[in-house]
Amino acid sequence: MAEISLFEALRTCRTVRRLRPDPVPDELLRKILTAATWAPSGGNRQPWRFLVVRDAERKRQLRELYLPLWRTFSQAYTAHLSGLPAEARARQERMVGSADHLAEHFHEAPVIVVVCVHIPELAITDAGLDRPSVVGGASIYPAVQNLILACRAVGLGAALTTLLCQKEPEVRALLDIPVGWATCAHLALGFPEGAGHGPVRRKPVERVAFLDRWEQPLFPVS
């Protein structure tokens, strides 16, 4: 497969929820997981483990845990779509339809990667603030994103969920994850059924980048 540039990978790295059952070769897994390990982390502690689940029964149990979580989430999510303009609603409904497919077929993904982080190694510099802490994630989610981008580069699709983290005790028991290690992402990986990737839809940079003070545009809004 022809290499793509980093910027092209970033521009076209979409969530791929329809995956073929074809196995993911070990050498590809090694390549994408190695890319994940190139991520930065606080103090370069590299507090990660990547638990690759290929066993059919364990994947089925992960699906049993995920499906009800997704159904509850998507019910609440779709309840808010009625107020949207028709085009935006149709887009959201397509996304939910594709996410329904992922949830129903989660166990059919050839690989599910459970990304785990070692809590004692995290430097959580915002732990004392009067709001939910977010900084701990900064030492693990760059590795998750490296993994997703590496999938894009080698022609694999990836779909990330953090909903399953709610079932951490069950996942811990299922996969023998030791105490002290937290689950932070579950990724279904495989070759895309169709084209898979394509241009991402995001807010324009003009709306999200500021200069010197909040909401002062860095770039002119055209």
Ligand X SMILES: Cc1cc2nc3c(=O)[nH]c(=O)nc-3n(C[C@H](O)[C@H](O)[C@H](O)COP(=O)(O)O)c2cc1C
* List of residues contacting ligand X (CB under 6 A): 14-15, 17, 70, 95, 99, 102, 159-163, 200
Q: Using the minimum distance from each CB to ligand X, give the nearer residue, 17 or 107.
A: 17
- CB crowding 42-78: b at 16 or more within 10 Å, else e: beeebbbebbebeeeebbebbbebbbebbeebbeeee
Query: What's the rounded Cα separation, in Å, for the pair 172 and 183?
Result: 8
Torsion of CA 134, 136, 137, 142, to 10 degrees: 130
Q: Using the minimum distance from each CB to ligand X, give the nearer residue, 25 or 97.
A: 97
Q: Read off the tokens for 216.
A: 């002062």
Q: Using the minimum distance from each CB to ligand X, give the nearer residue, 85 or 178.
A: 85
For residue 182, what are the β-bridge partners?
117
Q: Using the minimum distance from each CB to ligand X, give the nearer residue, 65 or 102.
A: 102
Q: Using the minimum distance from each CB to ligand X, give the nearer residue, 80 or 213.
A: 80
Helices (H), the chain: 6-11, 26-37, 56-79, 86-104, 141-154, 168-175, 205-208
CB of 216 to ligand X, least distance (A): 28
Helix or strand or coil: residue 150? helix
